């Protein structure tokens, strides 16, 4: 398996963003619509910038930038935003577990979130567009 840190460095375009019940029941929702757009950039010095947008809905945008570190053992990265969306306090760390899908894409999973008493898991899939290719 490839090391995560060098695999992340570069630019990624958003493919899909789905949220499903963590237990696998129920159907997926798409908080940024059926055709979301976005860009996630990781530089080799531990800085990141991410933007997500629902082009079908005015004002439906999220952006954040700051620093990141990689936990190779847990196959995840930890973001420490300098600025970000509401609900994410600057300086408050958050994680994304990573699955390298083997087709030039990777799926990032944020922490499970409880919505109306149901644990929900996000699945954010990105396609690598610059930087070292994924192994």
Please check whether residue 85 lies inside any domain of the structure: yes
Instruction: Give the C-alpha distances (Å, rounded to integers) separating 90 from 41, 75, 110, 134, 135.
Output: 18, 23, 17, 30, 33
Rounded-to-integer distance, Cα 113 and Cα 58, Å: 25
Q: What is the mean pLDDT of residues 69-88?
A: 87
Question: In this structure, is residue 86 part of a structural domain?
Answer: yes
Mean pLDDT of the chain: 91
- Per residue in 37-64, pLDDT tens? 999 999 999 999 999 999 888 768 889 9
Of the candidates 44, 47, 124, which has an alpha carbon nearest to the alpha carbon of residue 82? 47
pTM attached to this predicted model: 0.89
Report if residue 135 sits inside a domain.
no
Q: Is residue 126 part of a domain?
A: yes
pLDDT score at 40:
97
| CATH code of the domain covering residue 108 | 2.40.128.490
1 has a pLDDT exceeding 60? no
Q: Which domain holds residue 110?
A: 4-130
* Total tally of structural domains belonging to the chain: 1
- The fraction of the chain above a pLDDT of 90, given in percent, is 74
Residue 93 lies in a domain: yes
Average pLDDT over residues 113-129: 94
- Distance separating alpha carbons of residues 78 and 121, to the nearest angstrom: 17
- Burial pattern 11-24, b for ≥16 Cβ within 10 A else e, equals bbebbbbbbebbee
Considering the domain boundaries, does residue 63 fall inside one?
A: yes
Q: Is residue 49 assigned to a domain? A: yes
**Is 22 inside any structural domain?**
yes
């Amino acid at each position: 398996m490839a090391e995560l840190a060098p695999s992340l460095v570069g630019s990624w375009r958003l493919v899909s963003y789905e949220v499903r019940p963590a237990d696998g029941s129920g159907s997926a929702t798409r908080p940024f619509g059926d055709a979301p757009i976005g860009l996630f950039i990781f530089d080799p010095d531990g800085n990141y910038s991410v933007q997500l947008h629902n082009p079908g809905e005015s004002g439906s945008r999220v952006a954040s930038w700051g620093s990141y570190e990689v936990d190779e053992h847990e196959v995840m990265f930890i973001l420490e935003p300098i600025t970000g969306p509401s609900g994410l306090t600057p300086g408050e760390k958050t994680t994304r577990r990573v699955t390298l899908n083997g087709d030039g894409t990777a799926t990032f999973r944020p922490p499970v979130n409880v919505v109306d008493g149901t644990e929900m898991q996000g699945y954010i899939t990105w396609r690598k567009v610059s930087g070292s290719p994924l192994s």
